[in-house]
Amino acid sequence: MTASNQTDAQAATTQVPVPAEFAQKAHVASRAAYDELCAQAQADHAGFWANHARKLLSWHKPFTKTLDESDAPFFKWFEDGQLNASYNCLDRHVANGLGDKVAIIFEADDGTVTRVTYSELLERVCRLANALKAEGVQKGDRVVIYLPMSVEGVVAMQACARIGATHSVVFGGFSAQSLRDRVEDAGAVLLITADEQQRGGKSLPLKAIVDEAIGLGGCDSIRRVIVFRRTGGKVAMTEGRDVWLHDVMAAQPATCEPEWVSAEHPLFLLYTSGSTGKPKGVQHSTGGYLLHATLTTQWTFDLKPDDVFWCTADIGWVTGHTYVTYGPLSNGGTQVVFEGVPTYPDAARFWRMIEAHKVSIFYTAPTAIRALIKAAETTPEVHPRNFNLGSLRLLGTVGEPINPAAWTWYHREIGGGRCPIVDTFWQTETGGHMITPLPGAHALTPGSCTLPFPGIDAAVVDETGKEVPWGQGGVLVVRKPWPSMIRTIWGDPERFKKSYYPADFGGKYYLAGDGAIRDADTGYFTITGRIDDVLNVSGHRMGTMEIESALVSHPLVAEAAVVGRPDDLTGEAICAFVVLKRSRPSGEEARQLAAELRNHVAQEIGPIAKPKDIRFGDNLPKTRSGKIMRRLLRVIAKGDAVTQDTSTLENPAILDQLAQAN
Ligand code: WTA
């Protein structure tokens, strides 16, 4: 790590106080104000959330009951209330005189800027909503969205919400196979895609991948494919199935009455990796989800009417759902939406955009920060000091732990030493921030996500579910239900229970899947990493089993085991140990085969799942009962010597072979 002239260890002990001028104007303006909110939630958990739900959201029919625990852990919030997410994000702001306010500043890969006001966005959402209805999409139907970062992506999600269709966005980097699996699992009736996507000056296919996915079979539920013309690249259109987005929208009226749905109506599914080979369709509600998206955007990001908010996440991930499509719009904010990569046309892209659009709140992933630190250190022209970043007042990070040295650089070089950093811990399943600083309330410790959001009852416990003392590591749980929590895994309620409310914790607490430790003095939380077989590579969740299944689907592979190892840039890197159906390759042949397997994984899942390291062995380290000893593989992957007890191993000699192989 070359990130800074301060080491992680030095930075982690520094406390950074809340800047007085920030606190003065903040939504939550002091530690005392935060403590008071927590006390309110403690005294009346449901009442706390009900109060904010009434204040922040517009209800078509008010709810009379807040929390229904009768079928725990399938909790229901505000169930007899009716609302519409798109109405809350658009119509109510237009009705309040914000029609001409810029909702989205879109900057394309080539730097072209488009501004869309709330009125214009509403009109586009209505046209597409009408088009979806005209195609026969009904309330509760699933629509898969496979689009690049674009205004159209946000419009497509909002249009689904408007008619009560449940969207399922698939990240544009996923392969045909992954797309097919998600379409099939969701039973989607319609797919919205683009001809191509534009990333780093290159056009990459989308529609062709959709055709390939449908060609794989199992997508019979899809009746229609709507195609957004992004690049104008040539694509095949299947007669009777494929239509152009601009054609179907132009044919429709510019207004569309929102469909009022129960607060529990599924707003979206989002597939994420778990500890088995099959990704899970995380199902979110409308009311509870939107409440948390709205409230966290206000309190964590301290969003005000004049702010220019920029969350760099793709709509293919949960961060792009909550902090691009829903949170900023529900608050009537102005946000930047960006297509491209942080390193094109050069590694100053972010800094140039912050300057150009006068961004005041900036939210990105630690991986991006680390990559940009490296670039700034080697290429002086892209150093942030060349840009005027004076518009910034708040910074944020998400998706993975930020190492204190990168935090310090971010704070100093991007935030000019004056901007607080909110290190937000949350998950696809939690819908929004769970443990995060409120920037006007919490002094910051680099590397710590500080304290739970008010109303979130997070704790660190041992295997029996008992809270451990501060200073002692344990497992992160949430003891009380909260409005934006996952409702179920689509089509698999049993897996939902088993994954998140396992019996070994008494079945009572939500199990996040992460380890955590609280600081002995401040009680601040630090996330210590996943406790299951899920890796976090560049802030993206990857299941080791998914990658293993992809590897063994290659005709030459007999067996594979995947583990993570620490990586300075990407947080964790994927390391695969592979046994072939024929003898172990070496030298040039091994290199070629490794490249072939990497491409195979990209084909099966997507380029983000490519193993960085592939090692071939005659076998894998196994116990006498045949269980692969992943813990030993993790040690080898890291390059450390195996010092653990290996007496239960069937074949200890294999360790040396794997340690040397590359
Ligand atoms: C990790 C992303 C440390 C964690 C919003 C979690 C973090 C997983 C942080 C969820 C953070 C997320 N500090 N670790 N601030 N934020 N994580 O579902 O392991 O893509 O369980 O949601 O990312 O990843 P997901």
Read off the pLDDT of residues 18-32 as tens digits, 9 standing for 90 and up.
999 999 999 999 999
Confidence at 595, pLDDT banded by 50, 70, 90: very high
Question: Are the C-beta atoms of residues 93 and 101 closer than 8 Å to each other?
Answer: yes
Distances (CA, A) of 403 to 44, 420, 528, 535, 650: 36, 16, 11, 17, 38
Q: What pLDDT shows up at residue 3?
A: 41
238 exposure class (CB count in 10 Å sphere: 0-12, 13-18, 19+):
exposed
Read off the pLDDT of residues 366-400 as tens digits, 9 standing for 90 and up.
999 999 999 999 999 999 999 999 999 999 999 99
Distances (CA, A) of 418 to 17, 305, 415, 577: 10, 21, 6, 46
Residue ranges, comma separated, of all CATH 3.40.50.12780 domains in the chain are 20-341+420-514
Q: What residue numbers does the annotated binding site for ATP cover?
A: 399-401, 423-428, 514, 530, 541
Read off the pLDDT of residues 112-161 as tens digits, 9 standing for 90 and up.
999 999 999 999 999 999 999 999 999 999 999 999 999 999 999 999 99
Asked if the model's pLDDT at residue 4 lies above 50, the reply is no
Q: Locate tokens 């607080």: which residue?
A: 420
CATH of domain 20-341+420-514: 3.40.50.12780
Using a 6 Å CB cutoff, which residues line ligand 1? 272, 317-319, 398-401, 423-428, 449, 512-514, 527, 530, 536, 541
Residue ranges, comma separated, of all CATH 3.30.300.30 domains in the chain are 538-659
Give the type of residue at 106: F
Read off the pLDDT of residues 620-656 as tens digits, 9 standing for 90 and up.
999 888 888 888 999 999 999 988 888 888 888 899 8
What is the pTM for the complete model shown? 0.95
Q: What pLDDT shows up at residue 12?
A: 64
Q: Which fold has domain 538-659?
A: GMP Synthetase; Chain A, domain 3 (3.30.300)
CA of 433 to the centre of ligand 1 (A): 10
Asked if the model's pLDDT at residue 606 lies above 70, the reply is yes
User: Which atom of ligand 1 lies nearest, measured to the CA of 449?
Assistant: 15
| Helix, strand and coil in the chain, % to nearest 5 | 35, 25, 40
Structure tokens at 19: 């800047």
Cα separation, 252 vs 124, in Å, equals 10
Question: Which of 311, 323, 400, 442 has most ligand 1 atoms within 8 Å of CB, for mutation?
Answer: 400
Confidence at 661, pLDDT banded by 50, 70, 90: low
Question: Are the C-beta atoms of residues 265 and 285 closer than 8 Å to each other?
Answer: yes
Output the DSSP codes for 503-534. Answer: GGGTTTSEEEEEEEEE-TTT--EEEEEESSSE
Cα separation, 55 vs 78, in Å, equals 13
Give the type of residue at 467: E
**CA angle (108 as vertex; 172, 603 as ends), nearest 5:** 20
Average pLDDT rounded to a whole number, residues 425-429: 98
SS3 378: helix
Read off the pLDDT of residues 326-374 as tens digits, 9 standing for 90 and up.
999 999 999 999 999 999 999 999 999 999 999 999 999 999 999 999 9
Read off the pLDDT of residues 220-231 as tens digits, 9 standing for 90 and up.
999 999 999 999
Cα separation, 513 vs 479, in Å, equals 14
